[in-house]
């Protein structure tokens, strides 16, 4: 086994302040172990959050990053339980290979792009008023209430960063629509036989099942139902449900929107063809710099005993319209603070569900301050995993 050593910096900007700095040693369910150094972020004495410096022994970057991130999340969960103070998700800030006697060290740093880089959706007044009119026109008060609640679940989900929580919110919305869906799509009676010999009607979301089978394939609905069962009843491991939720949450989001439109009177064929690109409120636009640091001593990669890092300066240079979305165009200048040669390998940008921004010009600087204009194909990152390192990135 060829284990390497990796260093990660995570930050949480919540409402919990540590009494004092401390270290936590852990071993996860995959057999990986590490040390987490926890400290407050307090520039000029003002509390900004908590920093986690994680050192992990592992065979590759991806496994090490997930292990370190889970350890930071476990500490934040314990802090919340102990204090009942809000602790936001741990975000990856910096990661690099710190294996001794190695000439090349993979390096990743992530940045939140400034507000100037945020794109917006165009709200069509006629379409909005048409939907409001349909909702107000529903005579059954109970049905109208269910539709409003389901639509609110869809709205809330677009502001939830955790894919597992998003999945739960969307599923609640779908089940809220179950009685309405039962009236519009054919449902099959479902029973189970008790050991006493009697048959009982199953209390399940038959309308949701029939709608999902009509709009998607049976296997898709089966996977969603299995995830719902595992989440609500705590059956599978947390990493397992998190991984599945990252893939399935977007499908359930789309299904909920289609179900709301279907219950408002649209035909099944119309909602099946209805697609929309989501723009998430939680999705910070993240820029990720990938590079290789050239030097055999990891303790000397940074300047003055600090971690190696780069500085990002962003400038808005214009905007352009693409359909119902306005894209902001930015220029980025990247300046390294390292004590060794650096090779830039690529630039990634979080592009939530279809794309909201991309850098149009990137200026990379060498450690000596000289500038180099570099053209990179900007690789898309999902809104959910934009902070995760990947092994063998281009």
The pLDDT, as a whole number, for residue 175 is: 94
Q: How far apart are CA 119 and CA 339, in angstroms?
A: 37
Q: Which two tokens stand for residue 3?
A: 């284990």
Structure-model confidence comparison of residues 45 and 394, the more confident one: 45
- How many helices and strands in the chain, by DSSP H and E? 9, 16
Confidence (pLDDT) at 38:
95
Question: Who contacts 92 (Cβ-Cβ below 8 Å, separation ≥6)?
Answer: 8, 9, 10, 65, 69, 108, 110, 387, 388, 389
The single residue listed with the structure tokens 């450690």 is 367
pLDDT at 387 over 50: no
Q: What is the pLDDT of residue 236?
A: 85
Higher-pLDDT residue of 218, 385: 218
The pLDDT of residue 125 is 85
352 — pLDDT class (breaks 50, 70, 90): very low
Structure tokens at 250: 């977007």
Predicted confidence at residue 378, as pLDDT, reads 45
pLDDT in tens, 173-223: 999 999 999 998 887 766 666 667 666 565 567 899 899 989 998 888 889
Residue partners of 123: CB distance under 8 A and separation at least 6: none
Question: What b-and-e string marks burial along 116-143, b requiring 16 or more CB atoms within 10 Å of the CB?
Answer: ebbbeeeeeeeeeeeeeeeeeebeeeee
Predicted local confidence at residue 35, as pLDDT: 95
Q: Which of 114, 122, 115, 175 is nearest to 150 (CA)?
A: 175
What is the rounded distance in angstroms from the CA atom of residue 34 to the CA atom of residue 8?
A: 11
Kindly tell me if the per-residue pLDDT of 359 is higher than 80.
no
Confidence band of 248 (pLDDT split at 50, 70, 90)? very high
Give residue-wise pLDDT tens across range 115-172: 545 566 777 788 888 888 999 899 999 999 999 999 999 999 888 888 899 999 999 9
**Terminal alpha carbon distance of the chain:** 24
**Tell me: the pLDDT tens digits for 368-377?**
655 554 444 4
Residue 187: closest CA among 222, 216, 219, 212: 212
Which one of 11-15, 20-24, 335-339, 364-368 scores highest in mean pLDDT?
Answer: 20-24
Q: Work out the average pLDDT over 218-238.
A: 88
Q: pLDDT at position 369, please?
A: 55
Spatial separation of the C-alpha atoms in residues 78 and 67, rounded to whole Å: 17
pTM over the 0.85 mark: no
The stretch 26-50 carries a mean pLDDT of: 91
Q: Note the pLDDT tens digit of each residue in 278-334.
A: 777 666 667 788 899 998 899 999 998 899 999 887 777 777 776 666 666 667 778
pLDDT, residue 120, reads 67
Query: How is residue 91 written in tokens?
Result: 């975000």
- The rounded mean pLDDT for the chain is 82
What would the pLDDT profile of 73-125 be if each residue is shown by its tens digit? Answer: 999 989 998 898 888 889 999 999 999 999 999 999 998 765 545 566 777 78
pLDDT above 60 for 357: no
């Amino acid at each position: 086994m060829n284990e390497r050593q990796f260093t990660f910096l995570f930050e949480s900007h919540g409402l919990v302040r540590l009494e004092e700095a401390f270290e936590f040693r852990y071993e996860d369910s995959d057999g990986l172990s590490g040390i987490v150094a926890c400290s407050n972020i307090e520039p000029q004495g003002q509390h900004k959050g908590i920093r986690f410096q994680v050192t992990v022994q592992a065979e590759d970057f991806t496994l090490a990053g997930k292990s370190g991130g889970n350890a930071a999340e476990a500490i934040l969960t314990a802090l919340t339980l102990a204090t009942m103070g809000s602790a936001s998700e741990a975000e990856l800030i910096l990661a690099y290979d710190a294996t001794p006697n190695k000439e090349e060290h993979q390096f990743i740093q992530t940045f939140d792009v400034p507000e100037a880089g945020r794109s917006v959706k165009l709200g069509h007044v006629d379409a909005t008023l048409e939907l409001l009119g349909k909702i107000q026109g529903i005579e059954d008060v109970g049905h109208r209430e269910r539709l409003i609640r389901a639509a609110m679940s869809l709205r809330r989900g677009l502001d939830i960063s955790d894919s597992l929580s998003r999945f739960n919110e969307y599923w609640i919305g779908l089940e809220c629509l179950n009685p309405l869906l039962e009236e519009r799509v054919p449902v099959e009676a479902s029973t189970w036989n008790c050991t006493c010999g009697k048959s009982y009607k199953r209390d399940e979301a038959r309308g949701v099942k029939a709608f999902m089978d009509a709009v998607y394939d049976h296997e898709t609905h089966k996977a969603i139902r299995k995830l719902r069962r595992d989440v609500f009843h705590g059956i599978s491991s947390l990493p397992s449900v998190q991984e599945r939720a990252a893939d399935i949450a977007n499908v359930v989001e789309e299904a909920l929107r289609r179900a709301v439109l279907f219950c408002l009177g649209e035909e099944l064929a119309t909602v099946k063809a209805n697609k929309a690109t989501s723009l998430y409120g939680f999705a910070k636009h993240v820029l990720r710099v990938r590079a290789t640091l050239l030097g055999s001593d990891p303790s000397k990669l940074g300047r003055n005993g600090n971690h190696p890092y780069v500085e990002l300066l962003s400038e808005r240079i214009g905007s352009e319209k693409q359909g119902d979305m306005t894209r902001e165009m930015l220029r980025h200048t990247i300046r390294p603070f390292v004590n060794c040669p650096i090779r830039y390998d690529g630039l990634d940008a979080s592009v939530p569900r279809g794309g909201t921004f991309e850098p149009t010009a990137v200026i990379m600087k060498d450690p000596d301050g000289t500038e180099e204009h570099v053209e990179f194909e900007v690789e898309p990152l999902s809104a959910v995993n934009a902070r995760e390192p990947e092994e063998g990135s281009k």
